[in-house]
A = this chain, B = another copy of it.
Amino acid sequence: MARKTKEEAQLTRSLLLDAAERLFSERGVARTTLNDIASAAGVTRGAVYWHFQNKTDLIHALWDQAVLPLEASFEELLQTMPNDPLGRLRAKAITVLNEVVHNDRTRNFMSIVLLKCEYVEEAGGWREGYLTKRAECLTEITGDFKQAIELGQLTDSVDPQFAAVGLFSIIDGLCFHWLMNPSLFSMEKQAQKYIDTYFAGLASAG
């Protein structure tokens, strides 16, 4: 078989990532073999080992690709309402929950992260990277809460870190339940009600 041009090679890489994302979310990370991924992308394992060092490396790359759309929409929100941190948090949360429903990429990604992988400490494992990303995300949320308190959108009896962890937890928890069993409730209709309920709880804080 013939060598591909650089563009074609990038396409192959992209196809591999797509296949991995889909297969991981369908069969789980551990039960998906590199051969499965290669076949699904229409190539052989040779291509996988050309583009990535190994499975772990591929997962890392997958992460980078999957997080981009979310970060982009967050950035957008920041510019849409620069002086309304609480509204921004609300919008961010609802955005994530809606993306999980409507955006295949986000849904697959969340499904992998919450349901289809095992977090285990090992040298070169991806748990570390995930922890770091989560920490960053949490700092961001905490920052928004801090601003909200400074602007008087929330009482200063609210601890920003506390509020941030809670919001993060609710989002993950809702995604976990919905992805586990989408027929349980309509994420689409109730997402914002959940977020508003939590914010109402924070507002009445003691």
Contact = CB atoms under 8 A, between A and B. Distances in A.
Interface residues of A, number: 47
When all copies of this chain in the complex are counted, the total is 2
A172 interface: yes
Interface of A: 26-31, 114-120, 131, 134-135, 138, 161-162, 165-166, 168-174, 176-177, 180-181, 184-185, 190, 193-194, 196-205
A197 B193 contact: no
Given A114-B176, A115-B118, A204-B204, 6 more contacts: A28-B30, A30-B118, A131-B181, A165-B185, A170-B170, A171-B173
* Most central of A114, A120, A180 by chain B CB within 10 Å: A120
A197 B205 contact: yes
A174 B169 contact: yes
